[in-house]
C-alpha cells in the first residue's frame, strides 16, 4: 500500500527530530515541503541525501494536489510531507492532500513529534484538562473583533496561535475586548535556548511586551473565567 507520511520536524531546537522521522525522511525519495529554502535546509541539516523536493503550501490549488496523486501516490510512490516547523496539517497546509489521499485508499501515516501546542500546554501553569483550541484569529481587525467577542463566552481556557509579528496587536485586542484582569500565559520560542513564559493579567502581560517587544513564535493561553 502506498503511504503518505506526515512527518513532524523541529519547531526550534534541531535535536527534537525523532529517530522515526529521520528514518522515514531518509528512506522516502519524494519529499513535500512548504518552502523550498526550508526544505533544502532540512535535507542538508539531517544529511538526507538526494531527494525530489516538491512544494505544497497555502498558495497551492487543487491541481497541485492532483499532480501529487496522479504522478506519485497513485503510481505507488510514497511521499513524506513536512511543514516549515512542527506537526504538518495541524494549523498548516496539507489537509486537501490528506482528504484526497483517503478517497483513493492511500495510507496516511502521522509521524508524531514536536508541536508548539503540546509544548505550550506542558509549560503552562493554567489547568488544561479541558480547553478550546481556536488557533489563528483573522488578520482583519473587524473579523478578529467578532471572533474575540464570541470567545468571551467560553468557560474553558482558550489557546490561540498567531503570526510571529502580531503578538503586540493580539495583546492589544485582548486587553480591549476581554477583561484586562483575565489571567494569561504567553509562551515564546518553545524548545529553544531562550524559551520563556510570561504570566499574569492581560494588562500586565501587555505592559511587559510593550517594554520588551518580541518578534518570534509564540502561543497564548487564556485562563477560564
Q: What is the mean pLDDT of residues 127-133?
A: 95
Q: What is the mean pLDDT of residues 142-162?
A: 92
Q: What is the pLDDT of residue 161?
A: 92
Residue scoring higher pLDDT (222 or 179): 222
All domains in the chain, ordered by first residue:
3-111 (3.40.1010.10), 116-222 (3.30.950.10)
Lowest-confidence range among 18-22, 74-78, 86-90, 193-197? 86-90
* pTM confidence score: 0.90
Q: What is the pLDDT of residue 153?
A: 87
Q: What is the pLDDT of residue 222?
A: 97
3-state secondary structure the chain: CCEEEEECECCCCHHHCCHHHHHHHHHCCEEEECCHHHHHHHHHHCCCCCCEEEECCCCCCHHHHHHHHHHCHHHCCCEEECCCCECCCCCCCCHHHHHHHHHCCCEEEEECCCCHHHHHHHHCCCCCCCCEEEEECCCCHHHHHHHHHHHCCCCCCEEEECCCCCHHHHHHHHHHHCCCCCEEEEEECCCCCCCEEEEEEHHHHHHHHHHCCCCCCEEEEECCC
Residue scoring higher pLDDT (158 or 142): 158
Q: What is the mean pLDDT of residues 140-155?
A: 90
Lowest-confidence range among 65-69, 89-93, 173-177? 89-93
- Answer whether residue 91 shows pLDDT above 80: no
Amino acid at each position: 500500500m502506498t503511504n503518505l507520511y506526515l512527518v513532524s520536524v523541529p519547531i526550534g531546537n534541531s535535536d527534537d527530530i525523532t529517530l522515526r522521522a529521520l528514518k522515514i525522511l531518509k528512506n522516502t525519495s519524494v519529499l513535500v515541503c512548504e518552502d523550498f529554502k526550508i526544505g533544502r535546509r532540512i535535507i542538508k541539516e539531517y544529511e538526507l541525501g538526494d531527494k525530489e523536493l516538491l512544494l505544497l503550501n497555502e498558495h497551492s490549488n487543487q491541481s497541485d494536489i492532483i499532480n501529487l496523486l496522479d504522478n506519485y501516490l497513485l503510481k505507488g510512490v510514497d511521499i513524506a510531507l513536512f511543514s516549515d516547523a512542527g506537526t504538518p496539517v495541524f494549523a498548516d497546509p496539507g489537509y486537501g492532500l490528506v482528504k484526497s489521499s483517503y478517497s483513493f485508499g492511500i495510507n496516511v501515516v502521522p509521524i508524531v513529534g514536536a508541536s508548539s501546542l503540546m509544548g505550550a500546554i506542558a509549560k503552562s501553569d493554567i489547568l488544561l484538562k479541558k480547553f478550546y483550541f481556536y488557533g489563528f484569529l483573522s488578520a482583519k481587525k473587524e473579523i478578529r473583533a467578532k471572533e474575540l467577542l464570541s470567545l468571551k463566552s467560553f468557560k474553558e481556557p482558550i489557546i490561540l496561535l498567531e503570526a510571529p509579528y502580531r503578538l503586540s496587536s493580539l495583546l492589544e485586542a485582548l486587553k480591549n475586548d476581554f477583561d484586562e484582569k483575565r489571567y494569561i500565559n504567553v509562551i515564546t520560542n518553545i524548545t529553544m535556548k531562550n524559551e520563556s513564559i510570561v504570566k499574569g493579567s492581560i494588562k500586565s502581560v501587555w505592559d511587559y511586551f510593550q517594554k520588551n517587544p518580541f518578534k518570534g513564535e509564540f502561543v497564548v493561553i487564556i485562563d477560564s473565567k
